[in-house]
């Protein structure tokens, strides 16, 4: 079963707007939550990541908000640009060697930023 | 870029034939993974390795086997390819330290006809 649920499936935002993608998880043992960005024909690349001991992490125009009690986390892209148009994946993992640190991914959100 | 090379990058094969995809890394990362990506499913873990000759199954391992005889190489084999295995396959690696980035390769597009 899908361990990480992501929404929306697709998103259209005007240039300069805010893009918001949401994820929810069930397994309370997850303790590492990265977001990956993928352009067509390329492999996913790490965008930003957070641990559950903080509620927010910001890197440039990208912010992760984390709500441990609700088991939800979200990606906010401020001042969205056409170059941000890509597929975004949230993920979660258990940081212990028994699980091999493998990432459990959401199904992805296709973001289109219009000029 | 974590020095990950996947081969072949594109392959068309017939149903019932064996197929091997290769992942080569140059960073001496301990962990290696094979994921498949399909529309509507995101990325799903097939198998992973936590060292030479040490491998384990992931979420969608049926029909796949893996081998890791050297730190730098992780092979994914489809013993008898089926049309449901048409997908994009991504290799990924990371170090053994907690919280370190998982790096992905560029992908291998496999079509089974």
CA distance B10 to A97: 33
Domain regions of chain B by residue span? 4-97+105-112
CB of A45 within 8 Å of any CB in chain B? yes
| pLDDT at B2 exceeding the cut of 80 | no
Supply the pLDDT for residue A69. 94
Note whether A6 and A106 are within 8 A (CB). Answer: yes
Q: Quote the minimal CA–CA distance from B14 to chain A in Å.
A: 23
Helices (H), B7-56: none
Note whether A53 and A66 are within 8 A (CB). Answer: no
pLDDT of A21-36, one tens digit each? 999 999 998 989 999 9
Residue B84 DSSP class: G
Supply the pLDDT for residue B98. 61
pLDDT of A59-86, one tens digit each? 999 999 999 999 999 999 999 999 999 9
| pLDDT at B77 exceeding the cut of 90 | yes
- String of DSSP letters for A67-109: ETTTTEEEEEESS--GGG-EEEEEEEB--SGGGTTPPEE---E
From the options 3.60.15.10, 1.10.10.10, 3.40.605.10, 2.60.40.10, give the CATH code of B4-97+105-112: 2.60.40.10
pLDDT of B51-62, one tens digit each? 899 999 999 999
Which residues on B lie below 8 Å from A51 (Cβ)? 99
Q: Which domains are present in chain A? A: 4-94 (2.60.40.10)
Supply the pLDDT for residue A95. 74
Two tokens, residue B80:
């008898």
CB-CB under 8 Å, A104 with B56: no
């Amino acid at each position: 079963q899908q361990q990480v649920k992501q929404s929306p499936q697709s998103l259209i935002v005007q240039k300069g707007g805010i893009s918001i993608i949401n994820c929810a998880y069930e397994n309370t043992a997850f303790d590492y939550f990265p977001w990956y960005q993928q352009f067509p024909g390329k492999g996913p690349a790490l965008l930003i990541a957070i641990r559950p001991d903080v509620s927010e992490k910001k890197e440039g125009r990208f912010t992760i908000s984390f709500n441990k009690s609700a088991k939800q986390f979200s990606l906010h892209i401020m001042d969205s640009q056409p170059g941000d148009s890509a597929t975004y994946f949230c993920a979660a993992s258990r940081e212990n060697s028994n699980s091999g640190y493998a990432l459990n991914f959401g199904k992805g959100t296709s973001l289109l930023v219009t000029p | 870029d974590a020095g990950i090379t996947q081969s072949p990058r594109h392959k068309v094969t017939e149903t019932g034939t064996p197929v091997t995809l290769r992942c080569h890394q140059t960073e001496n990362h301990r962990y290696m993974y094979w994921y498949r990506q399909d529309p509507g499913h995101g990325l799903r873990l097939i198998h992973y390795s936590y060292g030479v000759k040490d491998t384990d199954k992931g979420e969608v391992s049926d029909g796949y086997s893996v081998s890791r005889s050297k730190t730098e190489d992780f092979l994914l084999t489809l013993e008898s390819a089926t049309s449901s295995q048409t997908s994009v396959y991504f290799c990924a690696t990371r170090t053994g330290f907690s919280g370190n980035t998982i790096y992905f390769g560029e992908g291998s597009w496999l079509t089974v006809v």
